[in-house]
């Protein structure tokens, strides 16, 4: 082998051994007749010492080394003196006295420093991702992600699941996010689609009697990007037969406990709390509650039942909502910052944001002070359990807008004001979501989860009277305010499936055209089944303590959807278009 050891493996027990290592020059320090080199590979770094008098040829080669040169070094491992031990390096108790230095390849000056905490433009990092990935913190994130995937496989194998691959080229089933389409050369004018998830295939595997299936597929969704969403992503896809919600939730909780123990060495407690969907909206303003801090939304309409304040009065008379959050110690926030919060509220859809700072003796500081009676001040303080120095933020609008605005401000303020405790892992399930959501753009009901989600009992009456009132046998697992997984018990009855399709505006002919292969399979004794699909990227993101999935993905796209590394997407040759029977329309 070219090397006998990796750089980061060397320890005191190797003292006296002749070893060969290879890697990249992380740092180089020239002290005249002695050159010190920190050589780095994927296992870590070790200090190399080269003396000109002892090994002049090795010294001459080391003298040519620069940052990111790739080198092979042979020498003897020596224990460092107590005074020269470097506690910041895992290999800090030893150093390698070089007898041979060989330059394997040279490097130009990198566009940014190859070290942790680098302050470089993200697009520059992505364009040179192969350099960005050399940085120790990035390598640790990729290793962590690998441990997550291994932990998943180990756990599910022990639970009797089979890992089964499903096709990448599949049929377009328009429902949910936009598909990525792939033109077929062999059948001109037709298209494959890249899978948004293996949803229909995994249901077919249950019909096939395979009982417990999983895979870690690549999924594709043509949608706008954000910190926790990408055009292509990896998820754990899991499906089980003859189960109800408790079975799927139990397996998922066991997996999370196992992953956090094996990957992070952290013990988390199961079962996780369950919060009904509507309760989550009421308390936290969204269906992804962060349980690590308080600041829950509070209905304060009763406090202002007799108000003469115009906006409050108009909203309450129109059936709107008056909701508030209490920011502990928020009275210290400068008025200029409060105006920025008001701007953020308006960007989220509110017409404005009222703020009240509680002071000693029942006094308040607020632009609304003269409109708030002493009785209202006392009632508001009691309702919010406020103390002097606290800040109340109030939104008067529809319930939906008030929740959206305050839910967003709750998370922003908790993060900015350091109210989120370090090292806490607060899992929960959000259960009993609506089966459908109304789309103003489409002017029809859309699936909240997907159209194969089984409705809860009483669904027929709900669909007949008010489809929006139907609830789904679905469940999301949330960690620290981020949805990690979404799952449901699936429909396995053809009649129920068609009635759900009908509520979505999909008639029998359309259903057969889009999903006929699944409906046909349901003619042959399909079992009750359900599953869940945790996002690998999001699990790794949480464990790594970063806030963007691009930090735990080897070769991600930029926020724009472009790939700075390869330049994709790019135009293609006319010959390729002709071969596929495609003609581009001018844009």
Average pLDDT estimate for 219-245: 90
Which DSSP category does 444 fall into? E
Q: How many domains is the chain built from?
A: 2
| CATH code where residue 51 lies | 2.40.50.140
pLDDT bucket at 182, cuts 50 / 70 / 90: very high
Adjacent-strand bridge partners of 537: none
Question: Burial level of 343, CB count in 10 A (0-12/13-18/19+)?
Answer: exposed
Q: Where are the alpha helices (DSSP H) in 208-351?
A: 245-264, 277-284, 310-317, 335-347
The mean-pLDDT minimum among 169-183, 462-476, 485-499 falls in 169-183
Tell me the C-alpha distance between 236 and 217, whole Å.
7
Question: Is the pLDDT score of 175 beyond 80?
Answer: no
Residue 123 lies in a domain: no
pLDDT at 329: 94
Residue 337 lies in a domain: yes
For 321, the enclosing helix (H) or strand (E) is: strand 321-327
Model confidence over 412-462: pLDDT tens digits? 999 999 999 999 999 999 999 999 998 888 888 999 999 999 999 999 999
Nearest to 555, CA basis, from 231, 174, 96, 116: 231
**Enclosing domain of residue 333:** 293-420
pLDDT bucket at 332, cuts 50 / 70 / 90: very high
Q: Which residues contact 54 (CB under 8 A, 6 or more apart)?
A: 97
Model confidence over 139-154: pLDDT tens digits? 999 999 999 999 999 9
pLDDT at 419: 93
Tell me the C-alpha distance between 373 and 393, whole Å.
17
Last residue of a domain, one of 52, 84, 105: 105
Total Cβ atoms within 10 A of residue 399:
15
Q: Do the beta carbons of residue 508 and residue 489 sit within 8 Å?
A: no
Helix (H, G, I), strand (E, B) or coil at 511: helix
Model confidence over 538-571: pLDDT tens digits? 999 999 999 999 999 999 999 889 999 999 999 9
Residue 447 lies in a domain: no
Count CA within 13 A, CB hemisphere, residue 293: 21
Last residue of a domain, one of 105, 139, 173: 105
Tell me the C-alpha distance between 396 and 409, whole Å.
15
| CATH code where residue 317 lies | 3.30.1360.30
Question: Is the pLDDT score of 313 beyond 90?
Answer: no
Last residue of a domain, one of 420, 447, 469: 420
Strand order across the 354-358 sheet: 298-299, 321-327, 391-397, 354-358, 364-365
Comparison of pLDDT for 1 and 382, the residue scoring more: 382
Cα 469-294-338 angle, rounded to 5 deg: 100
Helix (H, G, I), strand (E, B) or coil at 496: helix
Tell me the C-alpha distance between 541 and 520, whole Å.
40
Q: Do the beta carbons of residue 243 and residue 529 sit within 8 Å?
A: yes
Helix/strand/coil percent split, the chain, to 5: 35, 25, 40
The whole model's pTM is what? 0.92
Helix (H, G, I), strand (E, B) or coil at 315: helix
Residue 133 lies in a domain: no
Tell me the C-alpha distance between 398 and 381, whole Å.
23
Residue 57 lies in a domain: yes
Q: Which residues contact 555 (CB under 8 A, 6 or more apart)?
A: 129, 563, 565
Residue burial 532-569, b: 16+ Cβ < 10 Å; e: rest: bbbbbbbbbbbbbeeebbbbbbeebbbbeeebbbeeee
Q: Where are the alpha helices (DSSP H) in 265-385?
A: 277-284, 310-317, 335-347, 374-384
Q: Do the beta carbons of residue 502 and residue 447 sit within 8 Å?
A: no
Highest-pLDDT range among 137-141, 307-311, 506-510: 137-141
Residue 222 lies in a domain: no
Tell me the C-alpha distance between 471 and 485, whole Å.
18
Question: Is the pLDDT score of 176 beyond 70?
Answer: no
Q: Do the beta carbons of residue 289 and residue 428 sit within 8 Å?
A: yes
Residue 587 lies in a domain: no
Adjacent-strand bridge partners of 22: 72
Model confidence over 404-420: pLDDT tens digits? 999 999 999 999 999 99
Cα 133-138-143 angle, rounded to 5 deg: 105
Pair type for strands 427-431 and 274-276: parallel
Q: Do the beta carbons of residue 448 and residue 436 sit within 8 Å?
A: yes
Residue 78 lies in a domain: yes
Average pLDDT estimate for 150-168: 98
Question: Is the pLDDT score of 73 beyond 80?
Answer: yes
pLDDT bucket at 384, cuts 50 / 70 / 90: very high
Angle of helix 245-264 relative to helix 536-544, nearest 10 degrees, comes to 40
Count CA within 13 A, CB hemisphere, residue 568: 7
Question: Of all residues in the chain, what percent carry a pLDDT higher than 90?
Answer: 87
Adjacent-strand bridge partners of 149: none
């Amino acid at each position: 082998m070219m090397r006998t050891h990796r750089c980061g493996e060397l320890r005191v027990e190797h003292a006296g051994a002749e070893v060969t290592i290879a890697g990249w020059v992380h740092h180089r320090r020239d002290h005249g007749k002695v050159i010190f080199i920190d050589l780095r590979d994927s296992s870590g770094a070790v200090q190399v010492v080269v003396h000109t008098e002892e090994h002049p040829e090795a010294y001459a080669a080391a003298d040519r080394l620069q940052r990111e040169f790739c080198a092979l070094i042979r020498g003897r491992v020596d224990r460092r003196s107590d005074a020269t031990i470097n506690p910041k390096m895992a290999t800090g108790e030893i150093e390698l006295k070089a007898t041979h230095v060989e330059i394997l390849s040279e490097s130009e000056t990198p566009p940014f420093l190859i070290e942790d905490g680098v302050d470089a433009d993200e697009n520059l990092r992505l364009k040179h991702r192969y350099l960005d990935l050399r940085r120790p913190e990035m390598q640790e994130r990729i290793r962590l992600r690998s441990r997550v995937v291994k932990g998943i496989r180990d756990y599910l194998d022990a639970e009797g699941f089979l890992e089964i691959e499903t096709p990448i080229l599949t049929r377009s089933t328009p429902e949910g996010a936009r598909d990525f389409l792939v033109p077929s050369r062999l059948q001109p004018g037709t298209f494959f689609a890249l899978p948004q998830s293996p949803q229909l295939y995994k249901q077919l595997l249950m019909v096939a009697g395979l009982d417990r299936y999983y895979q870690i597929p690549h999924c594709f969704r043509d949608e706008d990007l954000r910190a926790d969403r990408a055009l292509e992503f990896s998820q754990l896809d899991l499906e089980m037969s003859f189960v109800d919600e408790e079975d799927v939730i139990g397996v998922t909780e066991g997996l999370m406990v196992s992953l956090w123990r094996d990957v992070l060495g952290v013990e988390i407690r199961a079962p996780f709390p369950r919060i009904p969907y509507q309760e989550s909206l009421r308390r936290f303003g969204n269906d992804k509650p962060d349980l690590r801090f308080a600041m829950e939304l509070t209905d304060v309409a009763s406090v202002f039942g007799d108000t003469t304040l115009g906006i409050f009065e108009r909203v309450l008379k129109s059936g709107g909502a008056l909701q508030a959050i209490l920011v502990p110690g928020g009275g210290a926030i400068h008025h200029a910052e409060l105006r920025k919060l008001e701007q953020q509220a308006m960007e989220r859809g509110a017409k404005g944001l009222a703020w009240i700072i509680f002071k000693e003796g029942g006094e308040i500081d607020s632009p609304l002070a003269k409109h708030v009676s002493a009785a209202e001040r006392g009632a508001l303080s009691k309702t919010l359990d406020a103390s002097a120095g606290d800040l109340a933020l109030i939104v008067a609008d529809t319930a939906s807008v008030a929740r959206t605005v305050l839910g967003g401000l709750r998370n922003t303020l908790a993060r900015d004001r350091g109210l989120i405790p370090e090292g806490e892992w607060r899992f929960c399930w959000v259960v009993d979501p609506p089966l459908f959501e109304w789309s103003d753009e489409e002017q029809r009901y859309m699936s909240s989860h997907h159209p194969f989600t089984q409705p809860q009992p009483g669904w027929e009456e709900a669909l007949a009277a008010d489809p929006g009132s139907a609830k789904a046998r679905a469940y999301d697992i949330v960690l620290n305010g981020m949805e990690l997984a979404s799952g449901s018990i699936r429909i396995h009855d053809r009649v129920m499936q068609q009635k759900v399709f009908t509520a979505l505006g999909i008639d029998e002919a359309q259903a057969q055209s889009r999903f006929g292969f699944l409906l046909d399979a349901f003619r042959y004794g399909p079992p009750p089944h359900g599953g869940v699909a945790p996002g690998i990227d999001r699990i790794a993101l949480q464990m790594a303590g970063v806030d963007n999935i691009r930090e735990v993905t080897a070769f991600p796209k930029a926020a724009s959807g472009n790939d700075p590394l390869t330049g994709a997407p790019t135009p293609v040759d006319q010959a390729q278009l002709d071969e596929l029977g495609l003609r581009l329309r001018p844009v």
